[in-house]
Structure formats: structure tokens, C-alpha cells
Structure 1
Amino acid sequence: MIKAPLSALAAVALAASLSACQTYRSAPEAAASDPQPPAFVEAACGGCHAVQPPFLSPNPAAPSFEAIANREGLTEDTLGTWLADAHNYPEVMDFDLEPGHVEQIADYMVTLRREDYVPAE
């Protein structure tokens, strides 16, 4: 069995688990102060998920990191716990994340929370 990169699969599993709401912001709306993802997050997750503005996911079935981060009840702790447990992942995400990668993903994603976030319909 070919194993995908740890983060890319985690992002796909997270997306499937957390639902598929997507919000799109056009480039002009993306603020210059928007946080930038760590290189690991962009490389591992960006193949399927939109990890930074304008939040257009390469894979329409994969919600953007912004959509995931703005789910009601999601916290850095709940996200980290979910990412750390590979048994949560969909079959396509057959891998384990190292604790440092879990922390990088969770730390970055919570920076994407916005009070004015409105999920796409």
C-alpha cells in the first residue's frame, strides 16, 4: 500500500470528519495580515485543502482550513486531539502524524477563526 504524506492525509481526514462547508474570499478581501501557514502545512495539506486566502480548495470535496477552523466548538485542543488519533481518519488518510506536525496544523488553523465568518451555502 502506498502511503501518502502524513499531513496531506490528515487534512483530508479532517475535512471528511468535520464536514464540507467552504467559504471563498476573493483575493482583494484577503488581508495582508492574514497568517501564513508553516511550510509543512502548505506542502502536506495544500494539495487538497485551501490552507490560506483566498481559500479555494484544489479538491472541491475538501473544505478549506478556514471553513474547518470556524466550525462551532472547534478549539486548538479538540483539533489537536482529533489529528493525533489516526483512527479518526477516513481510509484515504492511512497514516499517523508526529506530535510536532499535529501542533503545527492546529496552531495555524486556529489563527483562521473569524467573528464575521459566514459559511458558503
Structure 2
Amino acid sequence: MTGGGVDRSIECTGNVNAMISAFECLRAGWGVAVFVGLTGKDELFKINPTKFLEGRSIKGTAYGNFKPRSDIPALVEKYMNKELELEKFITHQVSFKEINKAFEYMLKGESLRCVISFVG
């Protein structure tokens, strides 16, 4: 389809088979796969190491390489200035007593963001 592979691929699902496909479709010599999606804790990514010797490579990022010291104050300022609508990203709210429910939502992929309340 691409006449030799793609120069760049981005995987955002955390699905190991999608990661393998994103790597396998790279052009030999300079193709780069970027993995953003988080896998399950026990999942393995298996590929033939010869693909690396052919010049393909992988880069990854967790949470977009977020820098809390500088990025959190900037996000708070944007939120306070109504430039950032955080409420639309909250899919669930639970009390601290229901914290296990928040983990269940996360592990099942049913929650975008869950707010855990420590009061009432």
C-alpha cells in the first residue's frame, strides 16, 4: 500500500497487536514508531530484533512527558481563566470509600477521568 512502509507511525490504543502492527509497517532504514497508549501490566511486545538492525526504531511517551513543576501551574492558570474545560473530561465521581470502583472503571477502560472525593 505504501510502497515500502511508512516513515512514521503512532500507536495510541495500548493494544499490543496494534503496537506490533505500527512497528512492522515502518520503512526499513529510517521508520520510527511512537507508542503513546499504555498496555496492561503483564502484556509483552514481541518482535524480531532484525527489524531494529534494518534501521527501524521505537520511541515512547507516558502522559506526553508531562512536567508537573511547570505544566501544572500553567494548566491551573488556563482553567482559572476559563481557557480549559476540565469538567467535560470527568466521566465518574466516587467517594474515597468507593476507590476500588474507580480502579475497576480504569482497568475496564470505562473511565476517562474519575474524581475521588475525600469528603462526604
Q: Which has the larger radius of gyration?
A: 2
**Range class of TM-score, shorter chain:** under 0.3
Q: Which protein has greater RCO, CA pairs closer than 8 Å, 6+ apart? A: 1
The structure with the greater share of residues assigned to helix is: 1
Normalised to the residue count of structure 1, the TM-score between the two structures is 0.24
Q: Which structure's residues are more often strand, by fraction?
A: 2
TM (norm. structure 2) is: 0.24
